[in-house]
Amino acid sequence: MNQYGLIGYPLTHSFSKKYFAEKFERENIKGSRYDLFELKTIDELPALLTNANLRGLNVTIPYKQKVIPFLDGLDDASAKRIGAVNTIKIYADGSTKGFNTDYYGFRQSVAEWLDRRGESPIGMKALVLGTGGSCKAVITALEDLSATPQLVSRTPGEGEFGYDDLTEEVMAEHRLIVNTTPLGMYPAVETFPPIPYQYITHDHFLYDLVYNPVDTAFLQKGAKQKAAIHNGLKMLQLQAEKSWSIWTKETTLWDR
């Protein structure tokens, strides 16, 4: 039995197990299963990796950066460049390599969404809410799409905005707003990033990486202001398929 799974804490919000169970049934994939592994601390990972049946893991909050020291290597094109991991490939000899498929999922989904709306990311200014592991993939993807991302943090560092910096003028200049925080995620569905929603207009695009619930409080508030909205479900699907490709691709050796 080839085993795959998701590590994080908590995991009550995740659709990943359901997604892969349906994929295995739909595509008649035999001898594989996908489980949820709640790790109270990342120090529990080495024990999990002793499972001889384990072939790959996805990584979610709060371990996308904390997991890196526990891995044998990083993919140069994604994880090393971004500085965060959401996919781990486990090789036959037990060695591990980290990848970032969040980058792929976000980049493709946001580009397709904006294109459907008759917009281009080129030259578009974006506010990226949150400073966790997911924000790194989002910022890199936006830069590669020739957009201009601006990080927003509760405790801003150099070059970052605090939420108090989001004036009417700043909001007008930044038409794309991406929530990379867990605010609004089930079960805390009443929470939302503290941006000045009164300054959002029909010219704005609000993208939430959260996909459970489908319409977060963040997106609901944006829709009330006539903004275009998009949740993280498509991103989940795209990154999951990319993870599966990484896990199952035949390989004999790899560059550490």
Where in the sequence numbering do the catalytic residues fall? 64
Before 187, cis peptide (omega within 30)? Answer: yes
- In angstroms, rounded to a whole number, what is the distance separating the alpha carbons of residues 183 and 177? 14
CA angle in degrees (0–180, nearest 5) for 166-167-170: 75
* Strand partners for 87: 58, 99
DSSP string computed for 20-82: HHHHHHHTT--SEEEEEEE-SSGGGHHHHTT-TTEEEEEE-TT-TTTTGGGSSEE-IIIIIHH
Does residue 74 contact residue 104 with C-beta atoms inside 8 Å?
no
